[in-house]
Structure 1
């Protein structure tokens, strides 16, 4: 009885150690995989927003004012944005934001205006996205949301890029910020593919623990 009890204790301790080791490696691999996927998505979004921003002529949008949402010039810009973002099926919306000297962020163009007037932002509407720091930073270089966020329009993760005002006759300061949105669900689904690593880790734990008890039981029978 003493030998059997001692063997059982050894088996339990060995199983615990194996679970801890495999669990730690699994958690580490899962975290790294998810971080890599998130970085990949964000880099892709930043690149897309950056390229789109270079195609916007600041002089075309500088004249927009509240009430111009149905003007031919405004609708032409919304179509340009839709055409550019249509190359990526994951981008739901493209729009242009204006940062005022008092750091108020307002919508200047929303590419959904023509087809969804009720679900699109109006010219001059204040942005309620929590990405203010990212939008301010986008006055200098492309940025992305740190994490998905929710507004009255839905849940998204966004990328932002500066629209240069050199076309308005200046020396190249930022006039506005172009933004694109990806649905938060799409982002979360894409960046959670590391679940396979978790499943592999769980299976490895089951096999390793099973082996410990099987070999332990076999040795116990031999010693009887």
Structure 2
């Protein structure tokens, strides 16, 4: 059954020409005009990639720090065996600990949006991997959330660094800021994300076909605007 949208959504969607590929400046300009909410909406970006997610050498997974951040702050949980909990909290970490934090998570207490850990703690976190893993917040070296210098890692996350990865359908869904950023900053964030995505092309993707098949941006709860990938 087709999804039924409200009057405001349909009015906003009528401003977008069906089947048209918009330039970045045109698409960003439409974000303001197609906003359907009274609060400051998050701007989403949606990639469909020419990959086979079943193949290990075609997985897309990387980290990015947008030029102007995302407009969102994340609560950080730090698993450390260095006895530097106080320093980590002073650096902006929400909660820090060692085995005590592992036990707390095992009991269902998760007061953070992203987890970081020292290599030593990773060996002890097996019993909570099934809890953090499905939530997408288990520390991972590939995501840059495992290391000895957790203060530096936490600082990068506080500045807006985050991970992106493909889903089982070969899509990557993420955010590029808030509508209040304005056209210039949003355009710079989007262009930077597209550049980073192109640089993240897996070695297993061969041939000259486009790596990015389709690319859309939208306001949260708003209609999608398709960008001309070749213009970026």
Length-normalised TM-score, structure 1: 0.25
Length-normalised TM-score, structure 2: 0.24
**Greater Rg over alpha carbons, structure:** 1
Asked which structure has the greater RCO (Cα within 8 Å, sep 6+), the reply is 2
